[in-house]
Chain A
Amino acid sequence: MLAWTIYLSFAGALIEALLPKGKAGLARWFALSIAVLGLLHAVGGFVQGIGQGRNIIVDVPWVPSMGIHFLLAADGISRVLVLLTGLAAVAGILFSWNVEHRTNEFFAFYLALIGGVYGVFLSFDLFLLFVFYEIAIVPKYFLIAIWGSTRREYGAMKLALYSFVGSAMVLIGLLAAYSTAGSHSTSLIDLAHAGLPVSFQMWCFPLVFIGFAILAGMWPFHTWAPTGHVAAPTAASMLLAGVVMKLGAYGCLRVGMGLFPHGLDAWGWTFLGIGSWRDVFALLAVIGIVYGALVALAQTDFKFVIGYSSVSHMGFVLLGLMTLNQIGVTGAVLQMFSHGIIAGLLFAIVGRVVYDRTHTRQFAELEPMHLARRLPFAAWAFVIAGMASMGLPGFSGFVAELQVLIGAWIAKPWWTVAAGIGIVIGVAYTWRALQKAFFGDRLPTAEEHPKAGWPDLGAITWPEITGVALLTLTSLAVGLYPRILLDTIEPAVKALLAGGGQ
Chain B
Amino acid sequence: MNYVDLFRVTLPETVLEIAALLVLVVDLGVVRKAALQMRLAVAAIVGIAGCGVAIWSLSVQGSTGLSYGAGNNLTLLGVGGYIAAAQVGILVLTALTLLLLTGAVFTRNAGEYVAIVLMAAAGGLIIAAAQDLLVIFIGLELLSLGLYVLTAFAKASAKSAEAAMKYYLFGGMSAAFLLFGFSYLYGLTGSTNLHQILLQLHNGDLYQATPLLDVSVVLIVTGLGFKVAAVPFHLWAPDTYEGAPAPAAAFIASVSKVASFALLIGIATAAVHVFDIPGNTAANGQQLHLGFGGPWMVLLVTLSTASMVLGNLAALAQISVRRLLAYSAIAHAGYILTAVAFFSYSPLSTNAILYYILTYGLTTVGAFGVISVVERATGSDRLDAFLGLHKRNPLLAAVLLVLFLSLAGIPPLVGFWAKFNLFAAVLSVSAGVVPFTLVALAVAMSAVSLYYYLQVLKRAYVMPAVDDTPIKVHPVTLIVLVAIAAAVVLLGCFPAALQNWIAGF
Residues of A within 8 A of B (CB): 17, 62-66, 127, 130-131, 134-135, 137-138, 141-142, 145-146, 153, 156-157, 160-161, 164-165, 167-168, 171-172, 175-176, 178-180, 183
| Bound-state Cα–Cα, A172 to B424, Å | 10
Q: Is the CB of B410 within 8 A of A175?
A: no
B contact face: mostly helix, strand, loop, or mixed: helix
Q: Is the CB of A176 within 8 A of B431?
A: yes
Beyond A65-B496, A175-B423, whether A145 also contacts B458 by CB under 8 A is: yes
A131 nearest in chain B by CB position:
B411
Q: Is the CB of A178 within 8 A of B411?
A: no
Q: Is the CB of A178 within 8 A of B405?
A: no
B440: interface (CB < 8 Å): yes
Pick the contact of A160: B428, B450, B499, B503 (CB < 8 A).
B450
**How extensive is the interface on chain B, given as a class?**
20 to 34
Beyond A171-B443, A172-B439, A183-B428, whether A142 also contacts B461 by CB under 8 A is: yes
* In the complex, chain A residues whose CB is within 8 Å of the CB of B450: 160-161, 164
| Bound-state Cα–Cα, A261 to B421, Å | 27
| Bound-state Cα–Cα, A131 to B451, Å | 19
What 0/1 pattern do residues 399 to 439 of B give for CB contact below 8 A with A? 00000010000111000100011011001100100001001
B462: interface (CB < 8 Å): yes
Beyond A142-B462, A145-B462, whether A178 also contacts B454 by CB under 8 A is: no
List, sorted by A's number, 6 A–B pairs whose CB atoms are closer than 8 Å: A62-B495, A63-B499, A127-B420, A157-B458, A176-B431, A178-B424
B446: interface (CB < 8 Å): yes
Q: Is the CB of A161 within 8 A of B447?
A: yes
B169: interface (CB < 8 Å): no
| Bound-state Cα–Cα, A137 to B447, Å | 12
Q: Is the CB of B431 within 8 A of A179?
A: yes
In the assembled complex, the CB of A430 is this many whole angstroms from the nearest CB of chain B, namely 34
Q: Is the CB of B443 within 8 A of A172?
A: yes
Q: Is the CB of A65 within 8 A of B454?
A: no
Report the 3 A-B pairs with minimum CB-CB distance, sorted nearest first: A179-B427, A131-B411, A168-B447
* In the complex, chain A residues whose CB is within 8 Å of the CB of B503: 65
* In the complex, chain B residues whose CB is within 8 Å of the CB of A176: 427, 431, 436
| Bound-state Cα–Cα, A165 to B440, Å | 11
Q: Is the CB of A164 within 8 A of B447?
A: yes
In the assembled complex, the CB of B399 is this many whole angstroms from the nearest CB of chain A, namely 13
In the assembled complex, the CB of A199 is this many whole angstroms from the nearest CB of chain B, namely 13
Beyond A63-B499, A130-B411, A138-B405, whether A175 also contacts B427 by CB under 8 A is: yes
Q: Is the CB of A146 within 8 A of B462?
A: yes
In the assembled complex, the CB of A211 is this many whole angstroms from the nearest CB of chain B, namely 11
Q: Is the CB of B411 within 8 A of A135?
A: yes
Q: Is the CB of A62 within 8 A of B405?
A: no
| Bound-state Cα–Cα, A482 to B416, Å | 42
* In the complex, chain B residues whose CB is within 8 Å of the CB of A178: 424, 427
Q: Is the CB of A63 within 8 A of B411?
A: no
In the assembled complex, the CB of A153 is this many whole angstroms from the nearest CB of chain B, namely 7
* In the complex, chain B residues whose CB is within 8 Å of the CB of A157: 451, 454, 458
Q: Is the CB of A160 within 8 A of B440?
A: no
A contact face: mostly helix, strand, loop, or mixed: helix
* In the complex, chain A residues whose CB is within 8 Å of the CB of B424: 66, 175, 178-179, 183
B282: interface (CB < 8 Å): no
| Bound-state Cα–Cα, A65 to B425, Å | 12
* In the complex, chain A residues whose CB is within 8 Å of the CB of B428: 179, 183
A128 nearest in chain B by CB position:
B411
Which of B444, B450, B499 has most A Cβ within 10 Å?
Answer: B450
Q: Is the CB of A160 within 8 A of B411?
A: no
Q: Is the CB of A168 within 8 A of B410?
A: no
Residues of B within 8 A of A (CB): 398, 405, 410-412, 416, 420-421, 423-424, 427-428, 431, 436, 439-440, 443-444, 446-447, 450-451, 454, 458, 461-462, 495-496, 499-500, 503
| Bound-state Cα–Cα, A64 to B494, Å | 11
* In the complex, chain B residues whose CB is within 8 Å of the CB of A127: 420
In the assembled complex, the CB of A24 is this many whole angstroms from the nearest CB of chain B, namely 17
A65 nearest in chain B by CB position:
B499
Given known contacts A146-B461, A160-B450, what 17 new A-B pairs fall within 8 Å (CB)?
A64-B496, A65-B499, A65-B500, A66-B424, A131-B411, A137-B410, A142-B461, A145-B458, A145-B461, A145-B462, A164-B447, A171-B443, A172-B443, A175-B443, A178-B424, A179-B427, A183-B424
B401 nearest in chain A by CB position:
A138
| Bound-state Cα–Cα, A167 to B409, Å | 12
Q: Is the CB of B416 within 8 A of A134?
A: yes
In the assembled complex, the CB of B328 is this many whole angstroms from the nearest CB of chain A, namely 15
Which of A64, A138, A168, A176 has most B Cβ within 10 Å?
Answer: A168
A17 nearest in chain B by CB position:
B398
A147 nearest in chain B by CB position:
B462
Q: Is the CB of A172 within 8 A of B440?
A: yes
Q: Is the CB of A168 within 8 A of B496?
A: no
Q: Is the CB of A165 within 8 A of B447?
A: yes
* In the complex, chain B residues whose CB is within 8 Å of the CB of A161: 447, 450-451
In the assembled complex, the CB of B434 is this many whole angstroms from the nearest CB of chain A, namely 14
In the assembled complex, the CB of B148 is this many whole angstroms from the nearest CB of chain A, namely 38
Q: Is the CB of A63 within 8 A of B447?
A: no
In the assembled complex, the CB of A81 is this many whole angstroms from the nearest CB of chain B, namely 21
Beyond A176-B436, A179-B427, whether A168 also contacts B444 by CB under 8 A is: yes
B423 nearest in chain A by CB position:
A175
In the assembled complex, the CB of B408 is this many whole angstroms from the nearest CB of chain A, namely 8
| Bound-state Cα–Cα, A487 to B117, Å | 68
* In the complex, chain B residues whose CB is within 8 Å of the CB of A160: 450, 454
Q: Is the CB of B499 within 8 A of A175?
A: no
* In the complex, chain A residues whose CB is within 8 Å of the CB of B446: 168
* In the complex, chain A residues whose CB is within 8 Å of the CB of B405: 138
* In the complex, chain B residues whose CB is within 8 Å of the CB of A142: 461-462
Which of A134, A153, A160 has most B Cβ within 10 Å?
Answer: A134
In the assembled complex, the CB of B505 is this many whole angstroms from the nearest CB of chain A, namely 15
Which of B398, B421, B447, B500 has most A Cβ within 10 Å?
Answer: B447
| Bound-state Cα–Cα, A178 to B503, Å | 22
B430 nearest in chain A by CB position:
A179
Q: Is the CB of B411 within 8 A of A138?
A: no
| Bound-state Cα–Cα, A176 to B411, Å | 19
| Bound-state Cα–Cα, A130 to B419, Å | 14
B444 nearest in chain A by CB position:
A168
* In the complex, chain B residues whose CB is within 8 Å of the CB of A66: 421, 424
| Bound-state Cα–Cα, A90 to B329, Å | 42
In the assembled complex, the CB of A452 is this many whole angstroms from the nearest CB of chain B, namely 29
Q: Is the CB of B431 within 8 A of A63?
A: no
* In the complex, chain A residues whose CB is within 8 Å of the CB of B436: 176
In the assembled complex, the CB of B504 is this many whole angstroms from the nearest CB of chain A, namely 12
* In the complex, chain B residues whose CB is within 8 Å of the CB of A130: 411
A61 nearest in chain B by CB position:
B496
| Bound-state Cα–Cα, A91 to B436, Å | 44
A64 nearest in chain B by CB position:
B496
In the assembled complex, the CB of A79 is this many whole angstroms from the nearest CB of chain B, namely 25
| Bound-state Cα–Cα, A62 to B424, Å | 16
* In the complex, chain B residues whose CB is within 8 Å of the CB of A179: 424, 427-428, 431
In the assembled complex, the CB of B352 is this many whole angstroms from the nearest CB of chain A, namely 10
Pick the contact of B431: A65, A171, A180 (CB < 8 A).
A180
* In the complex, chain B residues whose CB is within 8 Å of the CB of A168: 443-444, 446-447
| Bound-state Cα–Cα, A141 to B421, Å | 26
Q: Is the CB of B411 within 8 A of A134?
A: yes
In the assembled complex, the CB of B16 is this many whole angstroms from the nearest CB of chain A, namely 33
B440 nearest in chain A by CB position:
A172
B419 nearest in chain A by CB position:
A171
Pick the contact of A153: B423, B427, B431, B458 (CB < 8 A).
B458
In the assembled complex, the CB of B341 is this many whole angstroms from the nearest CB of chain A, namely 16
In the assembled complex, the CB of B290 is this many whole angstroms from the nearest CB of chain A, namely 18
| Bound-state Cα–Cα, A65 to B502, Å | 13
B497 nearest in chain A by CB position:
A63
* In the complex, chain B residues whose CB is within 8 Å of the CB of A145: 458, 461-462
A156 nearest in chain B by CB position:
B462
Beyond A176-B436, A179-B431, whether A134 also contacts B495 by CB under 8 A is: no
In the assembled complex, the CB of A361 is this many whole angstroms from the nearest CB of chain B, namely 22
* In the complex, chain B residues whose CB is within 8 Å of the CB of A164: 447, 450
